[in-house]
Amino acid sequence: MADKDRTEKDRKRRRRPRPPRPRVRRIARGMAATVGAVALAAVIVVVAMDPPWRTEPVAGPSTSVTTTTPAPAPAGTIDVPRADAAVAGDVAVSGTLRDMPAGSTAWLVTRVVGPASHVYWQQHPDLPDRIWPAPQPLAPLASGGWRTVLPIEDRDYYVDGLRLQVSLVVVEASVDASFREYNGTAERRRHPGISPIPDGLTVLDEVEIVLERPPVIL
């Protein structure tokens, strides 16, 4: 009898209709899912626009760059005499000179350069390595020019037909001192010239002339 009553109760329990589930929970879950999706999308957009791993450049200490204009190189010309001019006796020389470096001086130097067929050239094989400085350095004028007289009449190389190279050079202080020392004793030594040619010479211009001894009038 007891088993029958239990079976009847179980049957009635199974037949009892289930109460409807509240829709509020579903709606809340749906809204939560929607809000979560929107929030995730917003985060993705923000990260894409401004990723957290992007670093802004760190401004270092301000530095000022100072540029210096290099000093212009010295320049000069020999305008007189012209190339291949035939000269007799002392030679008047003139030209231009500008932008001399501090501590340097300008000189004229001469050198015998040929011709190879000349007897004097053949008798003095050291001529290519010997120079003769002018008696004093050049004194540039306010206009940027200069002029001087180059003595050659009392030089041993004053031989008819020889080619003489006249060079305008800028020299260092040590070379300037050696030129002055040479000129102090050159006359009594009959102007032997300087050999070897010293370093520290910057050639600005040069011209070749032809020596021409005037005829001796008896």
Question: What CATH number did the domain enclosing 95 receive?
Answer: 2.60.40.10
Please, are residues 94 and 145 in contact by the beta-carbon 8 Å criterion? yes
Same domain, 83 and 174: yes
Same domain, 83 and 47: no
Q: Kindly report the number of other CB atoms within 10 A of residue 162's CB atom.
A: 21
Amino acid at residue number 24: V
Q: Specify the number of domains making up the chain.
A: 2
Please state, in angstroms and rounded to a whole number, the distance separating the CA atoms of residues 85 and 94: 14
DSSP-based three-state secondary structure for 174: helix
Which of 123, 110, 121 lies closest to 154 in space, CA to CA?
A: 110
Tens-digit pLDDT profile for residues 120-136: 999 999 999 999 999 99
Question: Can you give the residue range of the structural domain that contains 161?
Answer: 75-211
Question: What dihedral do alpha carbons 109, 201, 104, 157 form, nearest 10°?
Answer: -10
Q: How far is CA 99 from its chain centroid?
A: 18
Same domain, 41 and 116: no
Same domain, 119 and 45: no
Q: Please provide the distance, in angstroms rounded to a whole number, between the alpha carbons at the two ends of the chain.
A: 183
Evaluate whether residue 70 is within a structural domain: no
Q: Kindly report the number of other CB atoms within 10 A of residue 8's CB atom.
A: 10
Q: Kindly report the number of other CB atoms within 10 A of residue 159's CB atom.
A: 14
pLDDT of residue 28: 45
Same domain, 37 and 129: no
Regions of the chain where pLDDT drops below 50? 24, 27-28, 35, 38, 42-48, 53
Evaluate whether residue 110 is within a structural domain: yes
Please state, in angstroms and rounded to a whole number, the distance separating the CA atoms of residues 62 and 68: 20
